[in-house]
Amino acid sequence: MFTASEISTWTWDIQENRVFADANFARMFGVSAEDASGGPIEHYLRAIHSDDRLRVEAAVTKTVQTPGRAYEIDYRLVQADGSIRWVIGRGLVECDDEGVPSRFTGLVIDITERKRTEEALRECHERYYSLFSSMAEGFCLIEVLYDQQERACDHLICEANPSFERHTGIKHPNGKKASELVPDLERLWTERYAEVVKTGDPIHLETRFEALDRWFDISAARVGGTNSHRVSVIFTDITARKRAEHDIAYQKKLLEALIESVADGIVIISPQGRLVHFNQHFLTIWKLPEELLQLKSDSAALEWAAQQTADPASFLAGVHAIYDRPDQTVWGEVAMKDGRVYERCGSPINHGNERLGWVWSFRDITERKRREEATRESEQRFRSLVSVITDVPWTTNAHGAFVTGQLAWSHYTGQESHAYCEFGWHDAMKPEDRERFSQAWAEAVRTRTTFEFRGQLFHAESQSHRHVMARAAPLFNPDGLLREWIGCCTDVHEQKTASERLECMVAERTTRLQETVSELESFSYSISHDLRAPLRAMQSFARFLEEEFGDQIGPQGKDYIRRIVVAADRMDRLI
C-alpha cells in the first residue's frame, strides 16, 4: 500500500492546456501554486529527466490520440536539490460529446523506494550471478525428491554454475535428475542430502564418487525453511590433490623402506633440531636409549653420540662447523672408542630458499680402512721390491694397453705415465725390434695365448738398450671374457753378453783345434809312411824265410815267423 505522500493526482484540460494538480504533485514536479491551479503542461514537463522527457511526451501524445487507451509509464523527476525520484504515471483521456479528447485525468505514484529496492535486488542478483558464474568451486541447487512412501529416492539439479561441468564432467545438468545424469551414482548421496533437508544441519566432507572416479570436497546446507526440500551444494574436485597425497604417502613409504634397506645409518633432522626419521642401522651404530628417542632432540642425541667417539670434543666441533655451513654437503670420518670407523656425510635439504632440514648418513668403513692400510703396506713392500729386483712386472687391459700406473716399468725405462700410457710403452723397445715386438704382441692379444719375446729394452740408468726376455699371460673372467694381461720383462743382458763372449771363445778355440788336428794329421801321415816301410820289410823277409827255409827251421822257428807276421799286420792296421 502507498502512503498519501507517495500519491498525487492531476487533471489536464487538453483544449485549454491547463493542468490542475494537488499539492503533492506540485511539490514533486517543482511548480508554483499558480501553475498547480491551471498552468500549462510544458511547465510540468520541465521537471522530467532529460533522458526520459521525449519518451513521456510520446506516451502522452499517443494516449491523447487514442481515446480509451490507458496511460502508464514510469520515469524520473529531477528535484530542486538535484536529487532524482522515480514515479509511475497512470491516467485516462476523456472525450466530449463529439468524441474529441477534452480531459486527461491521472495520478502519479512515487516509486523511488521500490526502484531503489529493485536496483539493489538487481545489483545483488548481478553480484550473485557474477559470483555464481565465476566461482572456481562447483555449485548447484538441488531439490530432494521423494517417493510415495516419503522416502528420498533421487534429487533434481535445479541450477548449476559453469564450474559444475568442469569439476564433474557432466554437461547441461539443469532440470535433470541425478539418476539421469549419473545412472550408477551411489544412493548414499541422495540420503545424505535428505538428512540435511530433515535436520537443517549443514555437512562438510571429503569423499570419493565411485561412479565418476573422482574425489570431492563437499559442503551442503538446506535452503529455506523446514518445509523446503532444496539444498545448496558447493564442491571442489580434489582428485588431483588426493592423488598427490596418495603419491606422497607412497613416496614416503618407499623412502622409509629404502632408508631402512640400506646398510648405512641414516637420520633426518628438522630445522628446529628434532629427529624426524631414522633407520634401524642408525640405532645400531649409536645405541640411543629409549628416553632420548622419545625426546627427539638433536642436541641431546649429539651429546650421547659424542661420548661413544674416540674424540668427543672434535666430534661435536665438527658437527657444529657443518651446521655453520648450511649450503654445503660435507664428508668426514668418525673414529669410535671400540675401534670402528664410520664415514659421515651431512647434506642440507632445501626447497628453493626454504631450509627443510638435514640428512646424515653413517657408513661403517672399518674393513675398508683396514684393507686400505693393508694395501698401503703392500704397495710399500712392492715399491721396495721393485727397487731391488731387475725384473719389470707390468699389467695391461684386455686390449694390451697400459691404463694404470706402472711403477716398475717407469723405474726401468724412465718413461713417465703420459709416455707409456695406452700403447706408448712399445716406444721403449729398440727401434729395430719394435715392429717385430708389436706384431708378436698383437698376435698374442688376438689368439689370447701366452706372449713371449726376446729383444732390447731401453734402460734409463745405463742410458742404453739392454737385452730382455718378455713374457705375459692372459687373465679371464668367470664368464670367459679376457680381463687383463700380467707380464714381466726379465733383464738377460748379462747372460746374453756372457753367452756371446763364450760363443766367441768357443769359435776361436775350435779354429785353433782344427789347425792342431790338421797338423797332427800331416804328422800322422808322415809317421805312418815312415813306419810302414820297415814293417813291410819285416813282413817280406818273414814270409821269405818261411818259404825258402821252412823245412830247415823246424816247428818252433815257424811259430816265431808266424808271430812276426801277425804282429806286423796288427801294427800296420794301427798305423
Architecture of domain 262-368: 2-Layer Sandwich (3.30)
The DSSP letter of residue 4 is G
> Would you kindly state where each structural domain of the chain is located, as residue ranges?
4-117, 135-242, 262-368, 389-491, 497-568
**Per-residue pLDDT for 471 more than 50?**
yes
pLDDT for position 326: 66
**Residue whose C-alpha cell reads 721390491 in the numeric block:** 385
Establish whether domains 4-117 and 135-242 are of one fold. Answer: yes
Mean pLDDT score, 162-184: 87
**Residue whose C-alpha cell reads 716406444 in the numeric block:** 427
Between 502 and 544, the more confident residue is 502
pLDDT for position 77: 93
Give residue 128's pLDDT band: very low, low, confident or very high (50, 70, 90): low
Rg (C-alpha) for the chain, rounded Å, is: 64
Measure the CA angle with vertex 38, ends 33 and 40; round to 5°. Answer: 105
**Per-residue pLDDT for 153 more than 70?**
yes
Of 332-341, 363-372, 396-405, 557-566, minimum mean pLDDT range: 557-566
**Per-residue pLDDT for 387 more than 70?**
no
| pLDDT tens track for 232-246 | 898 888 888 889 988
Mean pLDDT score across all residues of the chain: 85
Between 132 and 422, the more confident residue is 422
Measure the CA angle with vertex 360, ends 357 and 366; round to 5°. Answer: 175
DSSP tally for the chain: helices H, then strands E: 19, 21
pLDDT for position 458: 92
The DSSP letter of residue 5 is G
What percentage of the chain carries pLDDT values higher than 70? 94
Give residue 377's pLDDT band: very low, low, confident or very high (50, 70, 90): confident
| pLDDT tens track for 412-452 | 899 998 888 888 888 988 999 888 888 888 888 888 889 99
Alpha carbon distance 151, 20 (integer Å): 67
In terms of Cβ atoms closer than 10 Å to its own Cβ (0-12, 13-18, 19+), residue 379 is exposed
pLDDT for position 230: 92
pLDDT for position 195: 92
Residues 6 or more apart in contact with residue 285 via CB below 8 angstroms: 265, 342, 362, 364
Architecture of domain 135-242: 2-Layer Sandwich (3.30)
pLDDT for position 384: 63
pLDDT for position 561: 75
Domain at 389-491: CATH code: 3.30.450.20
Alpha carbon distance 360, 364 (integer Å): 13
Give residue 1's pLDDT band: very low, low, confident or very high (50, 70, 90): very low
pLDDT for position 340: 92
What percentage of the chain carries pLDDT values higher than 90? 20
Of 134-138, 457-461, 491-495, minimum mean pLDDT range: 134-138
CB distance 223 to 232 below 8 Å: yes
| pLDDT tens track for 2-17 | 444 478 999 999 899 9
pLDDT for position 562: 78
SS3 358: strand
Give the distance, in angstroms, between the CA of residue 443 and the centroid of all CA atoms in the same chain: 47
**Topology (CATH) of 4-117:** Beta-Lactamase (3.30.450)
Between 5 and 221, the more confident residue is 221
Backbone angles phi, psi at 86, to 5 degrees: -95, 135
Give residue 50's pLDDT band: very low, low, confident or very high (50, 70, 90): very high
SS3 278: strand
**Per-residue pLDDT for 247 more than 60?**
yes
Alpha carbon distance 227, 230 (integer Å): 9
Look up residue 218 and give its three cell numbers: 563437499
Of 18-32, 311-325, 388-402, 539-553, minimum mean pLDDT range: 539-553
Mean pLDDT score, 192-200: 91
pLDDT for position 357: 83
Alpha carbon distance 60, 58 (integer Å): 5
CA 18, 22, 25, 29 dihedral sign is positive
Give residue 93's pLDDT band: very low, low, confident or very high (50, 70, 90): very high
